[in-house]
Amino acid sequence: MKRINFGIIFRILGILLCIGAAFLFLPTAMSFYYDEPEQWMFLLSASATLAIGATLAITLRHHRAINDRREGILIGVGAWLTFALVGLLPFLGIGTSVSDAVFETISGLTTTGATIYEDIDSLPHGILLWRSLLHWIGGIGIIVFTVALLPMLNHRGGMLLFSNEVSGMGQEKLTPRINQTALRLWLCYFVLTIIITLLLYAGPMDLFDAVNHAFSTISTGGFSTRQASIAYYNSPYIEYVVTLFSFVGGLNFAILYNTIFHNHTRLFKAEQIRWYAGITLMTSLVITAGLFIRGEYATIEECFRKALFQVTTIMTTTGYSTADYIEWGTFFTLLLLLLMFFGGCGGSTSGGAKIDRMVILAKHARNELYRVLHPNAIRPVIYNGKVLPQEIVSKVLSFTVFYVLTWVCGAVLLSITGVTLGEAVGCALTCLSNVGPGLGVAGPSGTFAPLPDIAKWILSAMMLIGRLEIFTALIIFTPMFWRNS
């Protein structure tokens, strides 16, 4: 392998810092509009970020190409760490501790939606907008913006970055040029955000709340401008809108785009989407029946709405809540924890292990059972009507093993910090899967604030590892990654 070109890495990170500064100017303007004390802190953070980013991009402008997969990986990991450093500046400016600021920033960028704030309603408008913007930036992926905007990354370099950023199985190129593919995904994301904003604004939300919740919904994030989350509005209309577009956020965006503009039946032919919709619907019906039998809510419609909302937001890792699902009982809580593990479709804004992998894993397991009786049989894994190469099946198996091991290791480390068993298991899973609400003090009606600082650092690392799809995060710690030959 060639030597790593750190010049191109820092040049791209400089460009990303400039993009981050542009986003920072939005809450800066909001803070000035409401004449909040944080306005100058926002302005200073945005200006400093822009200055550093521009200096890197201009100084290293002669570095023009990415030629090594390791460079793409380092840019991917470096982008998230860089944005974490930039993103925590506004939180530090309002007196948040370093541990809490890092946790809140990474939770926002990875679209986890777990929060350390216990009185969100009193936060300044600029901070509330910044939290939601972190979701929106991290949802489609900041590198997708860069690939869309930089022609120099059109070929090998752009593909390396794009494949690292758009997670999951079965990525689809919309056009022969990778920057056009990234641009169309971004435009689809942007248009959906506008549609959600208008629909929420048509309900009981004001424009500010509608914009913030649109950012959080399409990115399957979960940050709200209210401590009570969506339950604050007590509106069936809002719940159905958020449910619908959380589900959309969990779809493969490339398949969604091709369905809208090319093949209108593409969405229904995709096997992972049929599984995704089927699991969501069946789980919702099971929980609806249980809630109705137990008399949790007055009508069958309310039982269905609460169940569908919670199942969808957990399955897509959005993490909004209109009820404390822990109070529904152990069975329903375990069912929702299982959905946290599954996640949405590959190529979506959701976290989790992804439905695509779970379907492939289930088919492989079925074939292995068949081979117990017929050891000489050859039964390939057929997915979306095509025979999958064995290397893809092996990668899915490896990913699942690493995913479970990371979850277990995270839970063990959390248990050492003094949290309860339920909190260790639930918080490790919800952060690795980028969901948000966990168990115990970090449940749907609580926050992560009471956890020890060391636990917050552990969970912050797990959020990043989950968002980077395990392999990308772990490979940089191996000796072979840094070997040049």
Task: From first to last of the 485 residues of the chain, give the pLDDT tens digit.
Answer: 578 888 888 988 898 899 889 999 999 999 999 999 889 999 999 999 999 999 998 998 887 777 777 887 888 888 889 889 999 999 998 999 999 999 999 999 999 999 999 999 999 999 999 999 999 998 876 667 666 655 555 455 555 555 555 544 444 555 556 667 777 788 888 999 999 999 999 999 999 999 999 999 999 999 999 999 999 999 999 999 999 999 999 998 888 888 887 777 777 888 889 999 999 999 999 999 999 999 999 899 999 999 999 999 999 999 898 888 888 988 999 999 999 999 988 888 888 889 999 999 999 999 999 988 888 888 889 988 889 888 889 989 999 999 999 999 999 999 999 999 989 999 999 999 999 888 888 888 778 999 999 999 999 999 999 988 888 888 888 888 888 75
- The DSSP 8-state label assigned to residue 4 in this structure reads P
- Residue 382: helix, strand or coil by DSSP? strand
Question: In this structure, is the dihedral angle defined by the CA atoms of residues 48, 51, 54 and 60, taken in order, positive or negative?
Answer: negative
- Distance between CA atoms of residues 474 and 412, nearest Å: 18
pTM value? 0.91
Burial per residue of 183-198, b for 16 or more beta-carbon CB atoms within 10 angstroms, e otherwise: bbbbebbeebbeebbe
Mean pLDDT of the chain: 87
Q: Return all residues near 253 (Cβ < 8 A) that are at least 6 apart.
A: 140, 185, 188, 189, 347, 348, 349
Task: Kindly report the backbone phi and psi dihedral angles of residue 387, in degrees, each rounded to the nearest multiple of 5, phi listed first.
Answer: -75, 125
- Distance between CA atoms of residues 429 and 408, nearest Å: 9
Cα distances (angstroms) measured from residue 393 to each of 355, 390, 398: 14, 5, 9
Task: Kindly report the backbone phi and psi dihedral angles of residue 382, in degrees, each rounded to the nearest multiple of 5, phi listed first.
Answer: -105, 125
